[in-house]
């Protein structure tokens, strides 16, 4: 391993730590508290808007009953929604938000977060941040991310991508909530 690789790795690690500390110093608890869904949430369809959605809309689907137990990130393939669940909090759903899927969906099941990257380039050539990877199936990597420009366009149907895009504020919430080994439950 050359010195350039080591320096790059150390620089990226330092940037991630500094970014996390800056975010926490800027009131992360206030933002996470504001992301609680309403108790009157009803079923709704996927949203592909580029607008931030830290506070779920009244049309946010309810947490699927088959979403498992414990601290977890839940992703619904059918509604294209993500829920961040912390059983020690009341309410347990600390955030819920719409996402835009890639062209390939992960198989339902439970997976651990195995890799995280603060910033990189996505398969579509866009700069992305807060990449949280949780599965690899048939050569496709599945993970959550947010485009630096805030866009959440539909994926190119000609490409096999497993990137699940959120708004930047929602991507930050997920990044802070899901360190390595956090359980991700994919439901139908």
CATH number at residue 163: 2.40.440.10
**Residues 142/171/132/164 CA torsion (nearest 10 deg):** 0
Query: Does 1 reside within a domain?
Result: no
In a domain, 97, yes or no: yes
pLDDT, tens digit, for every residue of 158-188?
989 999 999 999 999 999 999 999 999 999 9
Q: Which residue has the higher pLDDT, 31 or 167?
A: 167
Per the domain annotation, does 142 fall within a domain? yes
Which domain does 61 fall in, by range?
6-187
Record the pTM: 0.70
In a domain, 84, yes or no: yes
Query: For residue range 85-102, what is the model confidence (pLDDT) as tens digits?
Result: 999 999 999 999 999 999
Number of domains in the chain: 1
Residue 166, beta-bridge partner list: 146
DSSP 70-134: SSEEEEETTTTEEEEE-TTSSSSEEEEEE-B--SSPPPSEEEE--EEEEEEE-TTS-EEEEEEEE
């Amino acid at each position: 391993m050359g010195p350039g690789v080591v320096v790059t790795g150390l620089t990226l690690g330092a940037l991630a730590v500094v970014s996390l500390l800056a975010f926490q110093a800027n009131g992360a608890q206030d933002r996470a508290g504001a992301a609680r869904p309403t108790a009157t949430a009803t079923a709704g369809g996927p949203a592909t808007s580029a607008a931030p959605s830290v506070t779920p809309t009244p049309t946010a689907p309810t947490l699927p009953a088959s979403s498992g137990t414990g601290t977890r990130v839940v992703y619904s393939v059918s509604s294209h929604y993500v829920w961040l669940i912390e059983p020690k909090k009341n309410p347990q759903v600390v955030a819920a938000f719409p996402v835009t899927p890639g062209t390939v969906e992960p198989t339902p099941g439970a997976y651990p977060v195995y890799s995280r990257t603060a910033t990189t380039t996505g398969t579509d050539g866009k700069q992305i941040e807060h990449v949280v990877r949780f599965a690899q199936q048939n050569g496709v990597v599945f993970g959550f991310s947010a485009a630096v420009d805030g866009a959440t366009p539909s994926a190119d149907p000609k490409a096999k991508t497993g990137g699940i895009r959120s708004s930047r504020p929602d991507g930050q919430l997920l990044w802070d909530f899901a360190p390595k080994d956090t359980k991700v439950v994919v439901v139908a």
